[in-house]
Amino acid sequence: MAFTTKKILDDKYEIIHEIKQGGFGIVYYGIDNKLNKPVAIKEITPSLLEDPKYLDMFQEEALNIAKLSHNNIVHIYELKKTSDGRLCIIMEYIDGRDLEKIIRVARKNGMKLPPHLAVYIIAEVCMALDYAHHRRDAFTNKPLNLVHQDISPSNIMISRYGAIKLIDFGIASVKRHQVKEKRDTKLRGKIPYMSPEQLIMGNHPDHRSDLFSLGLVLYETLTAERLFNTQEEVIAVGKNSKWLKKTLKTKRLPAALEKILFKSLETDMARRYQSANHMYIDLLQYLISCNETGELMDSLGDFVNELFENEKLTPNGVADTLSSNEIQEELSKSSPSRPLIPNRWDSGKNNHSKSVSTEFSRPIVTRENRTSHLNTLYTGELGGDEEELKTVIDVIRISARNSKKRLLQFALALVSGTVLFGVLDTINGWTKAGVWMYDQLFPPAIEIVTVPPSARIFIDDQKIPGRTPLAIDDISPGVHKLQLEIEGYRPIVKSLFVPREGAIRVQGGGAENSSERSYLFRFNTEIQVDSYPPDANVFINGIPYNQKTPCTISWEVGTPLTFELEHAGFERLTGYTLNTLEGFDVVEDRRFWEMRVLNDDYTSYAVKGLFRKQVVFNTVPPGVEVVDLKTNSVVGVSGGAPLILPAGRHEVELRKRNFIPQKMTLQINEKFNEKISAVLYRNVQFRAFDELEVSRRDIGAQLVILRRGSTSVLRARRTTPFELALLAYSHTAVFQKEGYQRTEVVIAPDQLQVEIEMEPLRTGVEVRVVDALSNLAIPGAEIYYNFVDSPQTADIFLDQTDAFGQGFGQIAPGNYILTVKKTGYRPLTKTLVARSGDATALEFKIYPSNQ
């Protein structure tokens, strides 16, 4: 049984009337009596929640949905359970129509939605779905895995202002639990908008199922016809997609839209759009190609309002009425011709009776024309004031020259002049003191001060001379329309209530100044707040704002305004103050805040915060410069202070003298690792020489081993001379050359040139010394050698024979003279040609010296 109207829920929500009934319950129009705003109240059909465990699941799901905060998703305020067990969702009230009715009424009138408006509606829904599909739990950061499961025109609301809202998230999501737990084979949702995987395969729907349904809604919005009308048609397309393509071709839609429809209606989920954001980008590109990116929201609102111009839309709320009986009595006495605008301003003291005694048809007296008004009262009293002033000047001059006898005359003249100036100041308002004196003698009916100043004032559409700050001295009793206008801002319109006796009251109340008759009004400006990445929490003057970026804030001009932004994975973004009165901002670091003044019809601002992260570069070698390639400027040095980089994509290059520059792409986001490690390469030149040659000619040694630590890094053998790019680590290299010994060298981390000294392989020489007469071995004989081509000054000792007359040694390849010496014997010399790696045996027969 449905709720009765005028029922009160929880002493807070009053049900006014029923809006509509659906498969999941009844929607009522209601009023939040505590906050005085309209709400929509949805009573959930009890059969959906027959099992208590499903009730718990639904409540948990509804709490998750309530965490969604997006411009295109209807906001859930509260979940209520009545004393008789009914479950109600209190949600945002949308003053408008659902897309299903808009399409139906347009079709009835022989119309269709313009293609650019149809695409705009679906693009906005894409943004809502992309936000919901990727939403994570605020406390655990786990994905919520929200799937709408009931995307259809009846669940897309269009307000009278063109705002687009996706509804019924919570109702659709509870089906997930029922299907999962019960294995219920009963189809849930609207069959003409279901995906083939749900009908044919019985698969559990995921976010791509929502996109298939959205493609069906796009088709219907463009053509005013449903693509599917029966379950059999959906199943047929799931088995054979040719019918679908043939049907789309007959509608002769623009090629770009056909492509979008084909992709969103792919029966193969892997070929379908994989995210709502991808579909949104394609739709946006279509709008850009059609030059349709202007005020689409306003155009949509105008279209809907014209379509339903003969029907009265549900009002936003109940009209306010004055609660004061005294005000009503005063209005009945004055019998104003204009309807009363609600007045919530508290009445002040009864101190304005003098100012409201005449009818408003008389000219309104302001401070701009009060001089002539006062002169009618003081003409006889102040006639000849110029002569009076001249006398004062003369008295002052004479008093300065004459004796002390004239001091009294001077004093009297001075007092007279002061009094005269005070009277003239009171009339003309030269100083603040004169204005104050005038107000004491002739209190104004009302003083109006605005921020910014210099606003024009209109009462009942009649322009009042002068600009704010301005005092109006005479207003007739009644209710009047007060309008304030200044270039660059939306007009301020208030209801001005003037009783026959008592204080003037202003509806909506501009904040009062120091006196009860002085009102301060601040013009409003709009600030578009955005961030990168988006979806950041907004803090205004340190207080959390109930929307996330991007959002629009209406703000009173001149009121202090500081912004802070908070996003998971980033440091809190602070240090931004906007002066809306002067139109400038104060920023601690301009790299992370952007502001633009939007001067269209009305002044507004666009403020964008760029989240940042501290990035530490650890490089080998240290002291590497980090260069921003966009500006070609050095933004930091590795091993120094951390770099602070805004969120987004950055192209940087690591540079150090004698090392190869290294380019890097950094994507700064909430998951970005704040430490970057890099090792630079340097080009190393290798040359090999014979250590015995003076010419320093490269001998062409071959690199056979290259190790970094214990790891081999040799990719191919090379022959000197060559150049090789090596990381800035220590390396070990081994070279070989025929006829030379294998040579190992260590390459330092910053070494750029390596010269290998190759030692030739030596020749083994065996010498046997015997007595030429007895042929007996001679021990202790000394063996020397010298070079034939470049003889040394002294022979070089090689070895001494042992007891068997034998001596051994090694010499480098070349031509030598060998000499054997023994006391008591004559020296003996022989020549030797030593070849690399050979072994040579020589026998020396020496004669005694007496022979």
- CATH number for 144: 1.10.510.10
Of 5-9, 379-383, 595-599, 667-671, where does mean pLDDT reach its minimum? 379-383
Q: Specify the pLDDT at position 427.
A: 65
Residue 16 placed within a domain: yes
- The whole model's pTM is what? 0.41
Tell me: do 738 and 770 sit in the same domain. no
Q: Is the pLDDT of residue 390 over 60?
A: no
Neighbours of 385 (CB within 10 A): 14
What average pLDDT does this structure show over 475-486? 84
Q: Specify the pLDDT at position 238.
A: 65
pLDDT class of 66 with cuts at 50, 70, 90: confident
Residue-by-residue DSSP string for 80-110: EE-TTS-EEEEEEPP-EEEHHHHHHHHHHTT
Mean pLDDT score of the chain: 79
Tell me: do 174 and 261 sit in the same domain. yes
Tell me: do 268 and 229 sit in the same domain. yes
Q: Specify the pLDDT at position 355.
A: 34
Tell me: do 14 and 124 sit in the same domain. yes
What average pLDDT does this structure show over 212-223? 94
Residue 254 tokens read as: 């623009």
Tell me: do 510 and 648 sit in the same domain. no
Q: Is the pLDDT of residue 306 over 60?
A: yes
Residue with tokens 């004032």: 457
Query: What CATH code is carried by the domain that includes residue 797?
Result: 2.60.40.1120
Tell me: do 504 and 569 sit in the same domain. no
CA distances in angstroms from 136 to 64, 177, 691, 808, listed in the order given: 9, 19, 71, 86
Q: Is the pLDDT of residue 335 over 50?
A: no
Of 73-82, 247-256, 502-511, 803-812, where does mean pLDDT reach its minimum? 502-511
Of 82-91, 431-440, 688-697, where does mean pLDDT reach its minimum? 431-440
User: What contacts 454, CB < 8 A, 6 or more positions away?
Assistant: 467, 468, 486
Q: At what angle do helices 385-401 and 407-428 cross, to 10 degrees?
A: 150
Q: Specify the pLDDT at position 778.
A: 94
What is the rounded CA–CA span in Å between residue 695 and residue 190?
A: 93
pLDDT 10s digits, 601-636: 788 999 999 999 999 999 999 999 999 999 999 999
Q: Specify the pLDDT at position 418.
A: 78
What is the rounded CA–CA span in Å between residue 75 and residue 297?
A: 19
What average pLDDT does this structure show over 493-515? 63
Residue 1 placed within a domain: no
Question: Final residue of a domain: which of 658, 679, 700?
Answer: 679
Helices (H), 584-649: none
Tell me: do 372 and 474 sit in the same domain. no
pLDDT 10s digits, 765-789: 999 999 999 999 999 999 999 988 7
Tally of domains within the chain: 7
Tell me: do 399 and 516 sit in the same domain. no
Tell me: do 690 and 675 sit in the same domain. no
Tell me: do 362 and 456 sit in the same domain. yes
More confident residue, 82 or 826: 826
Neighbours of 41 (CB within 10 A): 29
Virtual torsion, Cα 342, 345, 348, 350, nearest 10 deg: -10
Most confident of 11-20, 352-361, 678-687: 678-687
Residue 179 tokens read as: 């299907």
Residue 459 placed within a domain: yes
How would you class 118 by CB atoms within 10 Å of its CB: exposed for 0-12, middle for 13-18, buried for 19 or more?
buried
What is the rounded CA–CA span in Å between residue 410 and residue 397?
A: 9
Sign of the dihedral defined by the CA atoms of residues 185, 188, 191, 194, in that order: negative
What is the rounded CA–CA span in Å between residue 529 and residue 549?
A: 6
Question: Final residue of a domain: which of 679, 699, 733?
Answer: 679
Q: Is the pLDDT of residue 539 over 90?
A: yes
What residue type is 549 in one-letter code?
A: T
Q: Residues of the chain with pLDDT > 70: what percent?
A: 77
User: What contacts 292, CB < 8 A, 6 or more positions away?
Assistant: 116, 119, 120
Q: Is the pLDDT of residue 126 over 90?
A: yes
Q: Specify the pLDDT at position 202.
A: 55
Residue 490 placed within a domain: yes
Residue 350 tokens read as: 């009864």
| Phi and psi torsions of 570, nearest 5° | -130, 160
What is the enclosing helix (H) or strand (E) of 765?
A: strand 763-771
Residue 314 placed within a domain: no
CA 330 to chain centre: 55
Residue 32 placed within a domain: yes
What is the rounded CA–CA span in Å between residue 599 and residue 596?
A: 9
Of 104-118, 381-395, 400-414, where does mean pLDDT reach its minimum? 381-395
Q: Specify the pLDDT at position 261.
A: 93
What average pLDDT does this structure show over 528-533? 94
pLDDT class of 53 with cuts at 50, 70, 90: low
Residue 548 tokens read as: 């996330």
Q: Specify the pLDDT at position 264.
A: 92
How would you class 86 by CB atoms within 10 Å of its CB: exposed for 0-12, middle for 13-18, buried for 19 or more?
middle
Contact 265, 196 (CB under 8 A): no
Q: Is the pLDDT of residue 527 over 60?
A: yes
Query: What CATH code is carried by the domain that includes residue 337?
Result: 2.60.40
Buried b (16+ CB within 10 A) or exposed e, 245-256: eebbeeeebeeb
Contact 627, 633 (CB under 8 A): yes
Q: Specify the pLDDT at position 239.
A: 63
Of 127-131, 267-271, 308-312, 755-759, where does mean pLDDT reach its minimum? 308-312
CA 520 to chain centre: 36
What is the enclosing helix (H) or strand (E) of 237?
A: helix 231-239
Name 482's bridge partners. Answer: 459, 494
| Phi and psi torsions of 124, nearest 5° | -65, -40
| Phi and psi torsions of 440, nearest 5° | -70, -40
Q: Is the pLDDT of residue 325 over 50?
A: no
Residue with tokens 């929607």: 27
Q: Is the pLDDT of residue 75 over 50?
A: yes
pLDDT class of 316 with cuts at 50, 70, 90: very low
Q: Specify the pLDDT at position 151.
A: 92
Q: Is the pLDDT of residue 106 over 70?
A: yes
What average pLDDT does this structure show over 385-391? 37
pLDDT class of 638 with cuts at 50, 70, 90: very high
Residue 581 tokens read as: 């009165």
Contact 213, 190 (CB under 8 A): no
pLDDT 10s digits, 807-850: 999 888 888 899 999 999 999 999 998 887 788 899 999 999 88
CA angle at 594 for the pair 591 and 597, rounded to the nearest 5°: 150
More confident residue, 60 or 668: 668
More confident residue, 181 or 824: 824
pLDDT 10s digits, 133-158: 888 776 677 788 888 888 999 999 99
Residue 436 placed within a domain: yes
Q: Is the pLDDT of residue 434 over 80?
A: no
Q: Specify the pLDDT at position 38.
A: 94
Q: Specify the pLDDT at position 406.
A: 61
Q: Is 189 helix (H, G, I), strand (E, B) or coil?
A: coil
pLDDT 10s digits, 689-727: 988 777 889 999 999 999 999 999 998 999 999 999 999
Domain encompassing residue 787: 763-846
Q: Specify the pLDDT at position 5.
A: 64
Q: Is 562 helix (H, G, I), strand (E, B) or coil?
A: strand
What is the rounded CA–CA span in Å between residue 184 and residue 809?
A: 99
Residue ranges with strand state E in 611-721:
612-620, 625-628, 633-637, 643-646, 648-655, 662-668, 675-679, 681-690, 702-708, 711-712, 718-719
pLDDT class of 446 with cuts at 50, 70, 90: confident
Neighbours of 52 (CB within 10 A): 8
Tell me: do 217 and 134 sit in the same domain. yes
What average pLDDT does this structure show over 586-600? 88
Tell me: do 389 and 536 sit in the same domain. no
Q: Specify the pLDDT at position 654.
A: 96
Residue 202 placed within a domain: yes
More confident residue, 669 or 325: 669
Q: Is the pLDDT of residue 113 over 90?
A: yes
What is the rounded CA–CA span in Å between residue 149 and residue 157?
A: 17
Question: Final residue of a domain: which of 725, 758, 791?
Answer: 758
Q: Which strands sit side by side in the sheet containing 806-811, from one edge to the other?
A: 806-811, 763-771, 839-846
Neighbours of 774 (CB within 10 A): 9
